[in-house]
Amino acid sequence: MPSTPVTQALEAISVPHRLHVHASDVRSLAQAARERGLVPGQVVRSLLFRLESGEFILVLAAGPARVSWRRLRRHLGVSRITTATPSEVQEVTGYEPGAVSPYGLRRQIRILADRTLEEHDTLSIGAGIHNAGVVLARRDLERTLPLEYGDFIGE
C-alpha cells in the first residue's frame, strides 16, 4: 500500500487508519463514500478560508454539507472571509486542492470542525493525494488535532 504525507503523519503519532486508494478517478462524493464503505456524511472535506487579516483557517465539514458564510463569520468574529485560491491552498497546506487533510499540514492552522461530524464514529479525511482517502476513528481525530467545534453548516 502506498504511503502519503497523511499516512506518515498518522503513523508518527500511532493513529490507527486505513488508506483507501480508488481504482479510478473519483467523480462524486457518493462514489467516494460507497467505495470506502461509508455514507457521504462520513467523508470529511477540508476547506481553507482566508480571513480579512490574512490569516487562514481550515474548516472540516461533512461531505454533502455547505458551510454557512454567515455562521462562520459570526463564530470567528470577522466581517469578511474568502475561499482560499488554489495556489493559496497549495502554499498554506502543502496539498493540492481536492487532496487537503488536517494532518501533515505545511504550517499550523486553526482547525474548525462542524458539529455534524460528531454524528459518526468513523470518518474519512483527505489522504494528501487525489483519488484516495484515509479512514479513521473520529475519537482519534479529536484526540490528535486541536479541533474547535461549532455550527458552520446551513443557510
| Residue-range domain boundaries for the chain | 5-150
- Mean pLDDT throughout 24-39? 93
Report the CATH fold assignment for 5-150: YbaK protein (3.90.960)
Helix, strand, coil % in the chain, rounded to nearest 5: 30, 30, 40
In degrees and rounded to multiples of 5, residue 88 shows phi and psi of: -65, -40
Which pLDDT score is estimated for 34?
95
- Mean pLDDT throughout 35-52? 96
- Mean pLDDT throughout 129-153? 96
Render pLDDT for 62-75 as a digit per residue (tens, 0 to 9). 988 899 999 999 99
Handedness of CA 98, 77, 153, 147 (dihedral sign): positive
- Mean pLDDT throughout 42-64? 95
In degrees and rounded to multiples of 5, residue 96 shows phi and psi of: -75, 150
Taking 70 as the threshold, does the pLDDT of residue 1 lie above it? no
d(CA 93, CA 124): 18
- Mean pLDDT throughout 94-123? 95
Q: Which amino acid is at 8?
A: Q
Grouping H, G, I as helix, E, B as strand and the rest as coil, residue 55 is coil
| pLDDT band at 17; cut points 50, 70, 90 | very high
- Whole-prediction pTM value? 0.94
Which pLDDT score is estimated for 81?
96
